[in-house]
Amino acid sequence: MSKWNLSVFYPNDEAWLKDFELLKTEIQKFSEFEGKLGDFENFKKYHEFDEYITKLIYKVYPYASLGSDLNLKDTEKMTKIRQVSIVLGQLSQITSFISPEIISLGREKVMSFVEQDEFLKPYKFPYEKLFRGESHVLSSKEESVISNYAPIGNVAAQLYQSLAVIDRTDKTITLSNGKEVLVTQAGYRALIEEADNAIDRELIFKTLYERYVDNKSAFAETYNLVLQRANANVKNRKYESALDAALFGNNIPKSVFLNLKDAAYENTAPLKRYIEIRKKALGIKDYKTWDRFIPLAKNDKKYPYEQAKQLFLESIKNFPAEFVKNQIEAVADGYVDAYPQDGKRTGAYSSSMYGHHPFILLNHNDTLDSVFTLAHEAGHSAHSIFSDAAQPMPISDYTIFVAEIASTFNEHALLDYLLTKAETKEEKIELLTMSIDNIHSTFYRQTLFATYEYEANKLVEEGKPINDAVLSKIMIDLYQHYYGLDITKEPGKQYVWAYIPHLFRTPFYVYQYATSFSASLKIYENIKNNVPHAFDNYIAMLKTGGSMYPVDEAKIAGADLTDKNTFLAVVNRLESLLDQLEAVLNS
């Protein structure tokens, strides 16, 4: 069954509503602990109560959120998730005294509480993190004031959702051959791949980007809200910059981000080389960014969801049994919603809540690319299964920084498996371009977007105004540097910043795709090269959850992200694949 079964949370909306009302009432009890945490018994009771509330949230929230994502146009479902968001905002306000009060107790006293009780011992690392960030935690009164603004924090993401998805009306166009097609977020790439000529490709692309062109000011103001919120956080909590604030919590050295940014920026020659290879193979003189979707080898093969699932599972079948078992469990029936439908959230994700099976959202379109998307999201879900089984709730949740290691590792395995099955020249070309495109989209493109975030936040920190022209200028310059392409010649492309939802929903997220990709490639190469204990070390990393800082977790698996050479290895891998592609094309 390629549909979600949300009844694992609640059998119906009435049962959900009962727990939702309970949650609203119960969170008020947090106030009873204010001023009492210095007593060991109350300290422990607070943590027991907090886990009880967290487990309740881990049922109430996903039932509302996942249900809404299946149809963002369903106002009743949208109301549920907004109701939950309001309550979570209230929770933030009610508990705003917690961190300042615990810090006021002093590290020595808090750690003595933690060490003397088995239930509390898993909180040791979280409190080490808290005391490390002591200088960025404000007084109880100040935290209370800031928490009053918590509901505003989600407004930018909600505005973006409204602009990009809820109020979107997909448009039907007529191609040059007379065929009518519906241009959707999920399906436009496939339409470009199948288009007969450059005029149709431009029309499809222009139609997709019309909503960003027509609403460029609204998207710019929405993103400005994201930037201003980040800048307010920098000032309130005394960080050096929005980047420092984003990196601080997980103790990620700034050098990791800067080394990644510089490694990509200084090594764009392979991207330009790839464009030249594509121009020659496709006979294109005036190359546009959408031309990257044109296949170098024609393959009309379709991969329905069930077949995609089987291919993925075959690609990992020779890995250790424990690893295979959790990957199979990740794509079990009832936990994957495979195909697009009207109103469904675009893209793909894995959602996990401690104590519950992870859920995967896809918009599967039967392409080879969608097979890789399935493998990617299965990696996330399996990671959660590993982590939840190995760690108690307080330290089970792994960070975004390491999340993409598990997903892109699966993609490496799937690619290698499919390459071994390739028999024709066309199949080899398709898979080599798939691998090259994967490095482009996951390493280079995400780093480009991360650099955009970095530059946009710097403008705000310097007190400079933000509008659509300013935001577009950053993108125009980056695309010129990375690809040697002038995106002002393409209809709407300069507003690609408005097309990327992560920039609005989860700032300073996308760079972690690139760091994780680099780490997973290193880990995968270690396994392929039979480095002793390489797979054991990888599984050990998957089990660490949130029990240590993420850079240290990656090191357990054999990837040092503080070393710039880890990133340069990806550049070298791309050069090698380009050599192979040219050889096959010329054979």
Compute the mean pLDDT over every residue in the chain, rounded to the nearest whole number. Answer: 94
- DSSP alpha helices (H): ranges in 215-283? 216-237, 242-248, 254-265, 269-282
Q: How far is CA 344 from each of CA 135, 163, 272, 331, 341, rounded to the nearest angstrom?
A: 42, 15, 36, 20, 6
With bands split at pLDDT 50, 70 and 90, how would you rate the model's confidence at 136? Answer: confident
With bands split at pLDDT 50, 70 and 90, how would you rate the model's confidence at 134? Answer: confident
Residue 249: predicted pLDDT: 87
Spatial separation of the C-alpha atoms in residues 212 and 203, rounded to whole Å: 15
pLDDT in tens, 459-479: 999 999 999 999 999 999 999
Residue owning tokens 């290879």 = 277
Spatial separation of the C-alpha atoms in residues 460 and 78, rounded to whole Å: 32
**Whether pLDDT at 1 is above 70:** no
Residue 581: predicted pLDDT: 96
**Whether pLDDT at 152 is above 90:** no
Q: Indicate the range of 24-38, 65-79, 292-306 predicted with least confidence.
A: 292-306
The CATH number given to 6-148 is: 1.20.140.70
Do the beta carbons of residue 222 and residue 156 sit within 8 Å? yes
Question: Which amino acid appears at position 249 of this protein?
Answer: G
Spatial separation of the C-alpha atoms in residues 216 and 205, rounded to whole Å: 16
Residue 384: predicted pLDDT: 98
- Phi, psi for residue 552 in degrees, rounded to 5: -70, -35
- 193 closest CA partner among 179, 182, 211, 205: 205
- 378 closest CA partner among 364, 391, 390, 392: 364
Q: Indicate the range of 99-108, 246-255, 418-427 predicted with least confidence.
A: 418-427
Residues whose CB falls within 8 Å of the CB of residue 270, separated by 6 or more in sequence, listed in order:
571, 574, 575, 578
Query: Measured in whole angstroms, how far is the alpha carbon of residue 183 from the centre of its chain?
Result: 24
- 513 closest CA partner among 414, 418, 411: 411
Residue 135: predicted pLDDT: 81
**Whether pLDDT at 391 is above 90:** yes
Interior/surface letters 27-51, b for 16+ CB within 10 angstroms, e for the rest: beebeebeeebeeeeebbebbebbe
Q: Where are the beta strands (DSSP E) in 128-170?
A: none
Spatial separation of the C-alpha atoms in residues 117 and 421, rounded to whole Å: 55
**Whether pLDDT at 153 is above 90:** no
Do the beta carbons of residue 359 and residue 179 sit within 8 Å? no
Domain extents in the chain: 6-148
Q: How many CB atoms lie within 10 A of CB 306?
A: 10
Q: Long-range pairs for 528-532 at CB < 8 Å and ≥24 separation?
A: 528/416, 531/558
DSSP codes of every residue in 567-587: HHHHHHHHHHHHHHHHHHHT-
**Whether pLDDT at 299 is above 80:** no
**Whether pLDDT at 31 is above 90:** yes
Average pLDDT over residues 229-243: 93
Q: Long-range pairs for 302-310 at CB < 8 Å and ≥24 separation?
A: 302/366, 302/367, 303/366, 303/367, 303/368, 303/370, 303/371, 304/366, 305/2, 305/336, 305/338, 305/339, 305/362, 305/364, 305/366, 305/374, 306/2, 308/364, 308/366, 308/370, 308/371, 308/374, 309/374
- 414 closest CA partner among 457, 459, 377, 361: 377
Question: Which amino acid appears at position 385 of this protein?
Answer: I
DSSP 359: E
- 267 closest CA partner among 447, 129, 121: 447
Average pLDDT over residues 384-396: 97
Give the burial class of 130: count Cβ atoms within 10 A of its Cβ; 0-12 exposed, 13-18 middle, 19 or more buried: middle
**Whether pLDDT at 28 is above 80:** yes
Q: How far is CA 281 from each of CA 18, 429, 435, 486, 584, rounded to the nearest angstrom?
A: 62, 11, 17, 21, 11
- 492 closest CA partner among 212, 187, 293: 212
DSSP codes of every residue in 7-71: GGT-SSHHHHHHHHHHHHHHGGGGGGGTT-TTSHHHHHHHHHHHHHHHHHHHHHHHHHHHHHHH-
Residue owning tokens 């309130």 = 236
- 282 closest CA partner among 293, 270, 269: 293
Spatial separation of the C-alpha atoms in residues 556 and 509, rounded to whole Å: 22
Residue 423: predicted pLDDT: 81
Average pLDDT over residues 498-508: 93
DSSP 347: S
Give the burial class of 17: count Cβ atoms within 10 A of its Cβ; 0-12 exposed, 13-18 middle, 19 or more buried: middle
> Three-state DSSP class for 174?
strand
**Whether pLDDT at 300 is above 80:** no
Do the beta carbons of residue 512 and residue 401 sit within 8 Å? yes
Do the beta carbons of residue 327 and residue 316 sit within 8 Å? yes
Residue 503: predicted pLDDT: 94
Average pLDDT over residues 248-271: 95
Would you state the structure tokens that stand for residue 180, as one six-digit string?
A: 């009518």
